[in-house]
Structure 1
Amino acid sequence: MIKNDLKNYISPLKLNLYLHLINKTCDGYHNLESLMTFCDYGDFISIKEEKDFSFTIDGPFAKNLSKTENIILDAVKLLEEYAKFKINVHIKLTKNIPIASGMGGGSSNAATVIHCLKDLFKISIEKNTLDSLLFSLGADVPFCFFRKTAIVKGKGENIEFLSSKIPELPVLLINPLIEISTKKIFEGVRLSNQNKVDNDIDFFNSDLFFEGLNNRNNDLERVAEIICPTIKEITSLLKTETNSKLVRMTGSGATCFGIFNNLSDLNKADILINSVFKEIWTKKTKIINKI
């Protein structure tokens, strides 16, 4: 019997509060360490059981997305192969965040769909198998699936959840509406120039949280600034002309963000950024430790 219930889910965007590259593996990938969290914003996914499968996309950033080559379709196929039955649903993706923006949109979409379909069809998956399935879709998919602030290590498969919450403060997201290739960013990285993680300093449970973050980096940011100089212009303006606690690029870019103590400082920064940059996307949101 087909259930007619329409289920709506947020597919939250992720932020890399710091991202350090540790080394390059023999297969050409990089081991990293990153403190990752979520924001109270993202894409929306609607799922309804139907007689056949269908997939549609709408929203402000739907235009350049393929309806036939999409990570959501990969996620559905993967779950079908595991469960050994056809999943007949209509999935609608409302794409609210820019494409190739460093906010993990596609990874979050795939993780959200797996989460929803697993619950909807009561598909039981042993944890090690689930971890493997999620990682096969993409390095950020496991973190996005578990939806909780964590330190992510390795290629993305090692997730260490924090024992306490980080401050859930206002965040301004800024994207220059320029897509950046993750592959191109990693190809431009020179590991000898990177700052290594000092694991002897534990700032997560202290008043030194933002001081600790400001002593760390996103090791991809320097390469991204060469490809897209607007990134440097945005971060420099946030650092010098606003009351930001932390300014950084997330992921491989080109989205930058500023974290603020209060909404007043957030609003002032938003007005400033939009007065200086005309071709830009901004969003006022806040950090969420767990979705």
Structure 2
Amino acid sequence: MIQALPPPPPAIIAPAPERSVGTVGQVRVAAAMTDARVMIDSSFRGASIVLYGAVFNPTDRPADVVVVVRGPDGPVRLVKKTRNMGFWLNSRPVLFEGAPGFYMTASTRPLSDIADFGQLRRLGVGVDHLRINAPQESRTVTRYGVRDVVVSRLGEDYLDYRRAVIRLREAAALYNTDPDGVEFVDAGLFRAEVELPAVAPTGQYFAEVWLFQDGEPVSVSNLTLTVEKVGIERDLYEFAHRRPWSYGVLVVLLAAFMGWAASRLFRRS
């Protein structure tokens, strides 16, 4: 006797993955880096890091991507050559406290075509809009009948010194602007390269990936990058900064010993 088999159970259809309610119909950008940490040793000759991401744009309006990478702030000491009685002399040193040690911008097209001057200035995007703290030294004067007006000691020379800071950092490949540095490799997928020179400062780097639409910032993705020394270089660096007096004494003693050893060696020969 042949017994009929029971019918197969109904097929289970997996529900379609749901998108986050907060991102439905929202224009936004998401980004990441190939490396979040860069190790510096004696053989370090620079590094190239790829920053990549995706643009979610449910509208038919085009959008632009701007990448800003800023390194740790540090002081910059400048002197200006002045001619005095036929001699070229160094002026009084000027110290800028808040200049970033590394600054890079990359975009899909020139920044001036993406947003207006005021918008870029408010966001601090671009070398021309880079926030560099002026020296704290100031003086009090009376202008236009108003007493106790505090002005910077640099006065009108501030812009010249600021341009000098940017020019020196650009010559060392620490400041860079690339109007074609962001490339769309597929629909909504983009990439940009962050080139760190061998003289890149150590510390915490901050990357901002801005999405502009119709000249306005509509989304931003924030990333961090750590550049640190490893090996004997890190030990010497930390010792020199934590105990500078001891480090200085050891360096002097080592130099004296090397000089004495060299004199003995050449005297025998």
Radius of gyration: which is bigger? 2
Provide TM-score, normalisation by structure 2. Answer: 0.22
Higher relative helix content = 1
Higher strand share: 2
